[in-house]
Structure 1
């Protein structure tokens, strides 16, 4: 069995096995759809139940090791990840589509998350407390919640599974990872790294597949918690299905993020940030800049600087050093982006650049969308309110600071928000008034440090954050003890 063959299978209780049904799903390169990466397991309830049973059996031994011992496995996994960094980056680019530089950045982010998590091992404790009775010792401690299901998306196929798996394992939970069917190989490589690091059989299991596998994982009564990153619709469904048994959930959902450009902003810095936030990774980030809310007093000057920059971006395969914007992940996302552009035009928006598929003669047949800027987008129109997840920027005008904050907060989501201003007072006021989880001033509105909460507000987030000490409030439960002596 070659490496590529075993990585196309599920990993359950230390073994790489095909789906019980024998069904598979084809995975192709979005930059060149003729490039077939392979056929990966298409799993169902039987496979999920096997994985959950394996995780349940492994739980007592793994929990008994304690966090310091468990951190040793994470440290070894970090070393292996660094040694295989270029392999990971190449696979991410091939199956997800992002630029190789972006893929390398994702590998570095995954390593940072792993290092941070391992470093929490000696901090994962409780406190002693005064007792009200004589000769009594009172204290608190954390205990892992049990078996957890980790459901990850395709846009960060390494970093997001890592920031779920690493804290799950350090906390003493055992886990079943169900990645997106669009990026199965990256997830398999990640699980292989933990296997090579010596993580015991059954502690981290991998089940490939789509809806059937995800539904079975959520429905299994032995699963104590689900950490999910994806759409609002699916997150709501998970919450609804799990409500009857009080399933613990951590849901990171959509975003419709705004960069507010005030009339005193440094326009060059603002343009740099908007180009990076809107068109990096072809706009396929939960924190992507999808709206530029620009004060009417500087709108024309802002557009004069922005549009030539965007129009000059070169779209192409992620492994081409000349490419500046990668393809979107598949034809579904391409068509959704093109449909959103057409809808914006019907609502009165004017396309200033882009607006269609990228179809140059030198491009292979892939899922390419031109970086698109649309002006005069009504603040309450579909493009200004709903997530696109593609390289499409809506420019909405605002009449002053208060109006800009109102528009930024007008959506149901609240993942990230950014303001560009020279006024310290406005900067702090914006941070106070933005209805979002991750806030930025005079810098790009994407990304956060590994030790800060990756979180949203409103419909963008339910449950504890990820990527921070606050993540333990999902993977562990608090207990208190009073001991008389």
Structure 2
């Protein structure tokens, strides 16, 4: 029995008019589990119009009322998050505990948005000039579009829409067509929380839906997370159409292990951060930089741990699930082929995994390469799979140069027991998010998420104070109220006004 996954507009499901559908598969079995609607231009206009029609009344809704609905959504999500995690596992493939962790990290942003009143406050200066007062305010933008990737169908949208909605905007979410059901589940939860129809909408589809959001004159801003080539396209196309854009792109995250580090802690962290969610994380550690003379010992410890991992159906008692689609599995396997042909030492070959799941599941087990060099494709390209590459360097300076020479600047980590070395690393690396003995340094919700270089297009990071600023625009009001009894002398004065 397959499910039908539709759009969501005006507070209800909407089949659309395109009559075009795409298969949604269960990655652990390879079976088609549903079909998702693919939007036409006409469908996109209908969904965007739903958001546009609701935007004026929602912006005029009191901050107190908006916050009450956010709190209701938070409570519903907290009580039903296991349902959402189960849905994510069925369509993405990640193990249930990982899916539950994804929902919980998204929940942090919902909770942050519940306190948005503090960040929407303006400032005021009385008598800034004689008889003149000045105050500022932050207003919503209108309709905002969110284009979300397949690897975090709940958490990534939740980086954006709680803040956008709390600030008084309406939202059109375009989820990945690979795992689209979470978006509809969230839409229904918003309705249960009392959100007015049209404030949260879902536009399913492929490039047609994406381009409709990027080009529509009724969409004021775009938030995107995905690969760097698409992020660059989204940024350029949306900017060309006059939109505010934050486009978070790809990554090649390095974890540097210095000779004084706790090697057991570092080995645990490398396995957890390299293979969790089958490596399908923009913050996954894909390169371990071992500063000699520790490489032989560290690689042996990582290999020992990696061989204990169980790969299989994410609903069972396993450590790692399948990759999201057969095409993606084959792409990652192609990188393993490439690394082997380029001369890297293949310590553990994930192509040989015996998975605990369906014979036709999209399986690739944890893969470990040693003696990787920066010229190899497995180092240069974002693989987005369970492939960990070990690069050996002779010094701290060589490790930092390797990171800073990379085109990406999303996340990095250093493992050391030397506080001075950690502080130096924090200053030296050209990366947006840094972990010290923390392998996946995803900031908490009240800080902002985002990288440097080709990992971010646009100037604004996700959530935190930067997220609030992205989804609002500032006004400054200068006012003077005349006391008729003490009216100042009038007269014409064409010189530039001065504050006195």
Q: Among residues 267, 279, 286, which one is paired with 1:283 in the alignment?
A: 279
Alignment of 1:87-106 (within 5 A): 87-106=83-102
Query: Counterpart in 1 of 2:330?
Result: 335
Query: Counterpart in 1 of 2:367?
Result: 372
Q: Among residues 235, 240, 247, which one is paired with 1:244 in the alignment?
A: 240
Superposed CA deviations along residues 350-402 of structure 1, whole A, max 9, x for unmatched, are 10012415345864321111201101111232211211000001100111110
Query: Counterpart in 2 of 1:29?
Result: 26
**How far off its partner does 1:244 sit?**
2.8
Give the secondary structure class of the aligned counterpart of 2:234: helix
Query: Counterpart in 2 of 1:478?
Result: 474
Give the secondary structure class of the aligned counterpart of 2:414: strand
Change (3 A) 1:162 1:357: farther
TM superposition score normalised by structure 2: 0.93
In the alignment, structure 1 residue 150 sits paired with structure 2 residue 146: yes
Query: Counterpart in 2 of 1:75?
Result: 71
Partners of 1:87 and 1:355 lie apart in 2 by: 31
Structure whose alpha-carbon radius of gyration is higher: 2
Native 8 Å contact 2:144 2:171 kept in 1 = yes
Mean CA deviation greater in 342-351 or 258-267: 342-351
Where in structure 2 are there 5+ consecutive unaligned residues? Answer: 482-500
Give the secondary structure class of the aligned counterpart of 2:109: helix
Q: Among residues 4, 7, 11, which one is paired with 1:10 in the alignment?
A: 7
Q: Among residues 156, 161, 164, which one is paired with 1:165 in the alignment?
A: 161
Change (3 A) 1:54 1:360: closer
Mean CA deviation greater in 331-340 or 180-189: 331-340
In the alignment, structure 1 residue 53 sits paired with structure 2 residue 67: no
Native 8 Å contact 1:68 1:122 kept in 2 = no
Query: Counterpart in 1 of 2:58?
Result: 62
**Aligned structure 1 segments of 4 or more residues deviating by more than 4 angstroms:** 359-363
Query: Counterpart in 1 of 2:488?
Result: none
Query: Counterpart in 2 of 1:306?
Result: 302
Partners of 1:441 and 1:456 lie apart in 2 by: 16
Q: Among residues 306, 310, 318, which one is paired with 2:314 in the alignment?
A: 318
Partners of 1:259 and 1:235 lie apart in 2 by: 24
Q: Among residues 377, 399, 402, which one is paired with 2:394 in the alignment?
A: 399
Where in structure 1 are there 5+ consecutive unaligned residues? Answer: none
Partners of 1:129 and 1:92 lie apart in 2 by: 50
In the alignment, structure 1 residue 424 sits paired with structure 2 residue 430: no
**How far off its partner does 1:191 sit?**
1.0
Give the secondary structure class of the aligned counterpart of 2:382: coil
Partners of 2:169 and 2:175 lie apart in 1 by: 18
Partners of 1:123 and 1:211 lie apart in 2 by: 35
Give the secondary structure class of the aligned counterpart of 1:32: coil
In the alignment, structure 1 residue 208 sits paired with structure 2 residue 204: yes
Q: Among residues 437, 440, 457, which one is paired with 2:435 in the alignment?
A: 440
Alignment of 1:122-161 (within 5 A): 122-129=118-125, 132-161=128-157
Query: Counterpart in 1 of 2:498?
Result: none
Query: Counterpart in 2 of 1:461?
Result: 456
Query: Counterpart in 2 of 1:235?
Result: 231
In the alignment, structure 1 residue 257 sits paired with structure 2 residue 253: yes
Superposed CA deviations along residues 99-134 of structure 1, whole A, max 9, x for unmatched, are 111011112122222111112224311212365421
Native 8 Å contact 1:289 1:446 kept in 2 = no
Mean CA deviation greater in 440-449 or 305-314: 440-449
Native 8 Å contact 2:6 2:16 kept in 1 = yes
Native 8 Å contact 1:67 1:122 kept in 2 = no
**How far off its partner does 1:264 sit?**
1.0
Q: Among residues 267, 272, 276, which one is paired with 2:268 in the alignment?
A: 272
Query: Counterpart in 2 of 1:86?
Result: 82
Query: Counterpart in 2 of 1:415?
Result: 410
Partners of 2:245 and 2:278 lie apart in 1 by: 29
TM-align CA RMSD: 1.7
Native 8 Å contact 1:252 1:455 kept in 2 = yes
Native 8 Å contact 2:313 2:321 kept in 1 = yes
